Structure 1
Amino acid sequence: DKIPDTEILRRAKMPGIVVTTTMAQTRWAGHLVRMPDTRLPKKAFYSELKLGKRSRGGQFKRYKDCLKVNLKNCDISVDAWEQDACDREQWQKRIHDGAAKFKANRILQAKQKGAQRKSRQNQALGQKGIQCPECRKTFLAKIGLYSHKRTHNQNQKKHRSQKAFRAP
């Protein structure tokens, strides 16, 4: 069955993996902000590397870079997030609310993409649909029709072999 992942997550009443990791990373960042300055994780988080550089256009290699993306996804200000994280209850509420908005936006975007894809398919079908001569199923490309015809050929071979065994 062709069921979108958004529908499966809705039925299971669960957030997606992207939403879950975003929430976990932002919660951990808030925890780091509230740590004493002497703790090693906080020192590592706020320190800068002395050597090495990121190649131009390369992937994000620092936790801080990924955190900025997650904060934007959760609709939390990148400039003032540390002050918000000092209050634990308010920080948890902001993360929860932001993750809910992020989840809703992801579902909406997925539905819009699906609708665009279906409209393109419908337009293509209206212009140049190719029908199977045996079952009248319509295909967008010849390759789809060729592979579909193979199923008809396999079904015919099965019927022939069954008839051969049933003879006198």
Structure 2
Amino acid sequence: MLMRTQLSWAGHTSRMEDHRFPKIVLYGELATGCHKRGAPKKRYKDSLKQHLSLGRIDCHQWSTLVSNRDSWRHTIHDTAASFDNGCRVSLEEKRQCRKNHSSPISPKEMFRCAFCDRTCLSHIGLFSHQHACSKRG
């Protein structure tokens, strides 16, 4: 939703006349000034370029796409839909990977408590459990 809104606003701004303030701010640069130490702050233009690249839109030719309002709307809609579907597929793949790796542990890989014969799945879990068991008994 944010990507769609930002791309829509960027298209609207780039179609504006050159003397309009939003276009001046979007395309302008500071004539003087200095940067503070450290990493530069992220600007609106930086996130716009990131969204354009995520949507596989060429950063150098996007202004020609924007000139036709209907094709730009269609491009934004397709870009946002493909990005959303890609995120969903990626999340589903991660979920399946997690589910496949959490297969049952064989009995030889389990750890048994010396005090109460409880089975733990990890060495650190066994250590923590034995510490609690030793205090009880």
Report TM bin, short chain. 0.7 to 0.9
1:95 is the counterpart of 2:95: no
Q: 1:71 aligns with which of 52, 56, 71?
A: 52
Superposed CA offset, 1:16-58 (max 9, x none): xxxx0000000000001111111111001111133243766x3
State the superposition RMSD in angstroms. 3.1
Check 1:27–1:48 CA distance in 2 against 1; reply closer, same or farther (3 A cut): same
Alpha-carbon offset, residue 79 of structure 1:
1.2
Alpha-carbon offset, residue 129 of structure 1:
4.8
| Aligned match of 2:35 | 53
Q: 2:100 aligns with which of 108, 115, 119?
A: 119
TM-score by length of 2: 0.73
Structure 1: how far apart are the matches of 2:51 and 2:71?
17
* 1:48 alignment partner, SS class: coil
Residues paired across the two proteins, number: 124
Structure 2: how far apart are the matches of 1:60 and 1:93?
32
Give unpaired runs (5+ residues) of structure 2: 130-137
Check 1:122–1:45 CA distance in 2 against 1; reply closer, same or farther (3 A cut): same
| Aligned match of 2:86 | 105
| Aligned match of 1:83 | 64
Alpha-carbon offset, residue 85 of structure 1:
0.6
* TM superposition outliers: structure 1 runs of 4+ over 6 Å: none
Contact 1:26-1:95 at 8 Å conserved across structures: yes
Give the number of the structure whose residues are more often helix, by fraction: 1
